[in-house]
Structure formats: structure tokens, C-alpha cells
Copies of this chain bind each other. A is one copy, B any other.
């Protein structure tokens, strides 16, 4: 149990700045009270999540949404709040130029512009001390014949190589894949195989990031996790959950058993060790629920799944597996999942000087009432701001 608690204490979960802003679907973005108006306010909210969970010490930025004049000042602001800057996300999907793609656009001019944006993100890494660039491309096509699927791979490879070469000592990029949306016929990085193949060619500074909402129905995500860890190519996670497509619901809300299976493969593959370099990031939005509690709940969900994964009796499991005892091995596995780990985690928090229940503690803190009163006027942050 000591080992388990140590592992849980060491786990870090990164929250994304965009989760604190307004979000929604193509049908409607519903505005909420107290939503941040700039990156500084986003960091303040993220710091609340860390204050109550104790395991969310970094915040991912999204460029250009989080553009500021002085990144060193933003990083200093974060430190003062008790958090740090995590991954830099390069958003190349909201400029009119990117309608037919960014780095895979048929136009050389647009590709140049997109790659330049990626290079600028590395500059921001330098300025903020971030060691991770996260690359997601919405690039793809909507109609058969619209563009040359293979030529787009050539263009992608060219841009990635340029960015790879720009990475400094101790820096890396994570390449994200996604089945579909916003492209509706062919996406240029649609699956882990595509991301993996590009990363292998580029070298050790390129790794794959698994967004748990970006797969075709029926895909076994924990298999992908196990495979990438075995290859040394799992760079991290974008956690969220989904019943249908890329629903971006709170992680663990749709299929907590799946989250447990994923975390088990992480544990089994050594992915919790610091040297593995696996980043545990949230990447989800709260369209209809309040944002800060939504993030706290999500961090807790990942933590609970991790605790259960750590509780699996690996020795008993291995014994049953090697004997071909199907029901026995499954029972060892399910025994951990069926355990209620909430008392253990409450204890862990109290040992660290935190309140046992982060949700209640945050609710009682008055923080929400404060920001709802203060943050009046100005433009609330959201996609595109």
C-alpha cells in the first residue's frame, strides 16, 4: 500500500487552459458566469484545481488562444499561483486560410504559414520553459477526390520534419491522431498507425499522443497504449470520454471500466515512472456543467482509475494467466476494479494536508461566487478567443 500511495502522490495530471473558457457544439455555445477573459484568469482557475486535488500542477496552453505579449510574465504568474506551464498546443484550424487544410493544404503559401505557426510555438516553449509541443491537425477533406490523399502525406511529412529539426535540447513534440471531425471524409492523421509511422521516421523526439475520444467505434484503446509503450512511442494522453464521437465529456464519465483498463496498461508498461515521460493531460470541455468543478471531478476520475490499476494483484494475475485460467485471471482483474478506492484517496489527501473531498472543499471555498462577481465585462474566453 505504501508503494501505491507513493505512485499516486507522484502522478501529475495536466489541465488545459481552454477547458476554463466557454465551449459548446456547432449548435450553440452556452455562456457561463465567471468564465475567464484572458490567459491569466485561466491560469488562476487551473490553480484552483491543483489546490484541491494536489495533483494538477501544470496547465497546457493553446496558441493563438493564449497569445500574450510576454510569455515569461505569464510563466511567472503561473508560478505565483503554484502551477507551471505544460504543453504548448498549436492550433492551426481557425484561420480562414486553413479551410482546406494547414500543413497539408494544396497551397504552398498556406502550408508555409501553418508551419511558421508551429515554429512560433517552439519559440513559446523556449520562452515559457515548456518541453512539449502538441500537434493536432484538423486537416483532411470532405469529399472523395477533393484532394490527393497521398500528396497530403508528403506535405505533412515535410512540415513535421521542419518542426522536428527546430526542437531544442530536452524538447519533444507529440503527434495527435483523430478519426474525423472537422474533416468528414479523409483525415490526414486519422489513427495511431499514421502518427506512429511519422514519429518513427522522425526520431526519438517525436511521440504519439492518445486522445481517448478520437477512435472508431469498437477500438481497443488499451491495446494501443500497451503497444506504444512497448515501442517507447507513447508520449501522453489527452483524456476525456465519449459515448459516440469526440464528445469531450469528462474523463471516466462514459466508461469508467475502460479508463481502468487503460491505466492498468500504463502501470503494467511502466508508464507511471517519471522516466517514461508519459504526459497525463485532460482535453475536454464542459458545455453544460461548471468548468472548475468539472475539471476537479475529471482529475479525481483519473486518480481513482489509477488507484484501482495499482491495486491489481499482479502476481496472482500472472499466475492465472500462465495457467490459462480465463475466469480466474479475469476475477483478479475485476477484484481491483470493484474495489471502492475513495476512502484510500481521501486518506491520501489528508496525509498531504488537503481536504478529503475536493468537490465539497471547492464548493465551500467561495471562489466561484468571487469570480462570478468580479469577471463582469470583457469577452469571455472560448474557442477563438
A6 at the B interface (CB under 8 A): no
B338 and A359 contact, CB distance less than 8 A? no
Question: Given A226-B153, A249-B184, A191 and B190 touching (CB < 8 A)?
Answer: no
- Return chain B residues, CB-CB under 8 Å to A304: 338
CB distance from A311 to the nearest CB of B (A): 12
- Return chain B residues, CB-CB under 8 Å to A193: 191-194, 196-197, 224, 227
Fill in one digit per residue for A210-230: 1 if any B CB lies within 8 Å of its CB, else 0: 000001111110111011011
Fill in one digit per residue for A181-192: 1 if any B CB lies within 8 Å of its CB, else 0: 110111100111
A372 at the B interface (CB under 8 A): no
B185 and A329 contact, CB distance less than 8 A? no
- Return chain B residues, CB-CB under 8 Å to A324: 100, 106-107
Residue of B nearest to A242 (CB): B184
- Return chain B residues, CB-CB under 8 Å to A269: 150
A82 at the B interface (CB under 8 A): no
Fill in one digit per residue for A136-154: 1 if any B CB lies within 8 Å of its CB, else 0: 0010001111111110011
CA–CA, A100 to B328, complex, Å?
14
- Return chain B residues, CB-CB under 8 Å to A339: 340
Residue of B nearest to A30 (CB): B99
A321 and B244 contact, CB distance less than 8 A? no
B144 and A227 contact, CB distance less than 8 A? no
A379 at the B interface (CB under 8 A): no
A220 and B186 contact, CB distance less than 8 A? yes
A317 at the B interface (CB under 8 A): yes
B333 and A94 contact, CB distance less than 8 A? no
A322 at the B interface (CB under 8 A): yes
A226 and B149 contact, CB distance less than 8 A? yes
Residue of B nearest to A97 (CB): B30
CA–CA, A149 to B179, complex, Å?
24
Residue of B nearest to A312 (CB): B145
CA–CA, A321 to B149, complex, Å?
11
CA–CA, A357 to B266, complex, Å?
31
CA–CA, A381 to B268, complex, Å?
40
Query: A30 is contacted by which of B28, B96, B338 (Cβ under 8 Å)?
Result: B96
Query: A146 is contacted by which of B147, B190, B258, B330 (Cβ under 8 Å)?
Result: B330
Query: A220 is contacted by which of B107, B185, B258, B340 (Cβ under 8 Å)?
Result: B185
- Return chain B residues, CB-CB under 8 Å to A120: none
A180 at the B interface (CB under 8 A): yes
CA–CA, A56 to B144, complex, Å?
26
Residue of B nearest to A220 (CB): B186
A143 and B181 contact, CB distance less than 8 A? no
Q: Which stretch (A36-44, A59-67, A284-292) binds chain B?
A: A284-292
Q: Which stretch (A19-27, A45-53, A123-131, A163-171) binds chain B?
A: A19-27
Q: Which parts of A229-267 form the interface with B (CB within 8 Å)?
A: 229-231, 242-245, 247, 249-250, 253-258, 261, 265
Residue of B nearest to A289 (CB): B326
A182 and B145 contact, CB distance less than 8 A? no
B179 and A218 contact, CB distance less than 8 A? yes
A268 and B150 contact, CB distance less than 8 A? yes
Residue of B nearest to A138 (CB): B27
Additional pairs, 13, CB under 8 Å, beyond known A149-B265, A190-B220: A25-B182, A107-B324, A143-B253, A143-B327, A144-B253, A145-B330, A148-B268, A150-B230, A184-B249, A191-B191, A191-B192, A217-B217, A290-B327
Which 6 residue pairs across A and B have the least CB separation, nearest first?
A193-B193, A145-B333, A216-B216, A217-B217, A184-B247, A25-B182
What are 5 A-B pairs at a CB distance below 8 A?
A179-B244, A193-B224, A220-B243, A244-B245, A288-B326
